[in-house]
């Protein structure tokens, strides 16, 4: 995989740089977590230093191929401008006459930020004509968007067919560190998997029950495992369609760690009466909303003995303070351990940043789904495209 530092003289070259600035924004349009923006700065600064003409591309949200002002990249461009202390030209579209004019007016060391790629249907459809129009804007393509490199979209796999293509420094770093987990992990290796959907993570769980020393399951996905094994989970969230795959998991496997107690309530808002309930002792009107104190102790003991930890997904309904304790306990346990720690996923990353613990982790991945697919051994289309492109 060629990296942008292998591209030679960049002065005056029009560089199409694909980043993943799909950041969390509140109802007022304020950016809540700009970690992904900060993570891409080394590549952008390198291009600026080398006097390239930078054409930034990103997606934001799921506008389904239609323009939606609430998903514009205006505020993201403003935030990036603050970090770089330089003016950024903002386009109203990602292709077309106006964009071509702005690109033509770029001077060396200047930046134009295209509008949300997903405003165009051709992006997610990986339309070849759309890819050609994007490619025509530049002379060199750089992928620094690890977080969407598992998507076969036009700006990820289409453009490399038409331009010399390179990885950015962020993508290079992600691949290097995550490859270590695949090829030469420090042991004991523990993989912590939380969140809501087990269907998207079942392959990873199966893979690491073979490769890892410990697999810890929390969050709503653990409910599906408990339900599949005939344990009462009340009216808790679980995935019916995933039951068949989950039934293959052996909960008596010494490597697999699932909750032994939980925090339950009849009310998801946190305003109702909450109680600690042993697994299997949950009434039909109750919801499992967090792991319990005994589970926290067991999980923390596993982490303490680990030399490498990979974490993706919360342990409970952490958006509600009353049900965030398990996720916070996991974050602190990993942060305070001596293990080489890797965390990924937008929700989890945002949570540890709010706790002030983000610098305590060895590597914070900008990908959630991409990280999980990479660690499951899947080939990511975006990385393949860099190797097999022009």
- Cα separation of 339 and 361, whole Å? 9
Is-contact 364 358, C-beta < 8 A? Answer: yes
Is-contact 147 22, C-beta < 8 A? Answer: yes
The one catalytic residue among 218, 369, 382, 389: 369
The one catalytic residue among 346, 367, 368, 382: 346
- Cα separation of 341 and 31, whole Å? 26
The one catalytic residue among 36, 90, 118, 133: 36
3-state per-residue secondary structure call for 227-278: HHCCCCCCCCCCCHHHHHHHCCCCCCCCCEECCCEEEEECCCCCCCCCEEEE
Measuring CA to CA, how many Å separate 131 from each of 250, 253, 262?
Answer: 46, 48, 49
Whose tokens are 């804007």? That residue is: 137
**308, burial (CB in 10 Å: exposed 0-12, middle 13-18, buried 19+):** buried
Is-contact 10 50, C-beta < 8 A? Answer: yes
| Phi, psi dihedrals of residue 55, rounded to the nearest 5° | -115, 100
Sheet holding 111-113, edge to edge: 88-90, 111-113, 53-57, 14-18, 140-143, 165-167
* Extended strands (E) in 35-149: 53-57, 88-90, 111-113, 140-143
The one catalytic residue among 132, 197, 229, 360: 197
DSSP annotation of 91 reads: -
- Cα separation of 40 and 153, whole Å? 20
Per the annotation, the verdict on 369 as an active-site residue is: yes
Per the annotation, the verdict on 346 as an active-site residue is: yes
Rg for the chain (alpha carbons), in Å?
22
Q: Which residues are catalytic?
A: 36, 197, 346, 369
């Amino acid at each position: 995989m060629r990296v942008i530092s292998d591209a030679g003289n960049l002065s005056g070259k029009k560089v199409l740089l694909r980043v993943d600035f799909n950041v969390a924004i509140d109802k007022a349009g304020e950016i809540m977590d700009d970690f992904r923006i900060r993570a891409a700065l080394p590549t952008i600064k390198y291009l600026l230093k080398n006097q390239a003409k930078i054409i930034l591309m990103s997606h934001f949200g799921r506008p389904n191929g239609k323009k939606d002002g609430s998903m514009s990249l205006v505020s993201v461009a403003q935030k990036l401008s603050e970090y770089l202390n330089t003016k950024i030209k903002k386009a109203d579209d990602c292709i077309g006459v106006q964009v071509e004019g702005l690109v033509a007016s770029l001077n060396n060391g200047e930046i134009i930020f295209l509008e949300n790629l997903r405003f165009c249907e051709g992006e997610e459809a990986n339309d070849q004509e759309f890819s050609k129009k994007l490619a025509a804007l530049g002379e060199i393509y750089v992928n620094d968007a690890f977080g969407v490199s598992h998507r076969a979209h036009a700006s990820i796999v289409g453009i490399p067919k038409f331009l010399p293509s390179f990885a950015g420094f962020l993508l290079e770093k992600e691949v290097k560190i995550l490859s270590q987990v695949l090829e030469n992990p420090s042991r004991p290796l523990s993989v912590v998997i939380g969140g809501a959907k087990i269907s998207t993570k079942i392959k990873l769980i199966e893979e690491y029950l073979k490769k890892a020393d410990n697999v810890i399951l929390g969050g709503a996905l653990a409910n599906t495992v408990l339900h599949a094994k005939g344990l009462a989970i009340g009216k808790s969230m679980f995935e019916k369609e995933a039951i068949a795959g989950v039934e293959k998991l052996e909960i008596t496997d010494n490597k697999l760690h699932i909750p032994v107690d939980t925090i339950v309530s009849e009310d998801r808002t946190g305003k109702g009466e909450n109680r600690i309930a042993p697994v299997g002792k949950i009434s039909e009107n109750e919801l499992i909303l967090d792991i319990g104190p005994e589970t926290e102790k067991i999980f923390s003991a596993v982490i303490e003995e680990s030399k490498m930890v990979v974490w993706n997904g919360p342990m409970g309904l952490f958006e509600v303070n009353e049900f965030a304790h398990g996720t916070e306990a996991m974050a602190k346990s990993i942060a305070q351990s001596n293990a080489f720690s890797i965390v990924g996923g937008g929700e989890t990353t945002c949570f540890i940043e709010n706790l002030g613990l983000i610098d305590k982790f060895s590597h914070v991945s900008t990908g959630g789904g991409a990280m999980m697919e990479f660690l499951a051994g899947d080939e990511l289309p975006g990385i393949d495209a860099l190797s097999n492109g022009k």
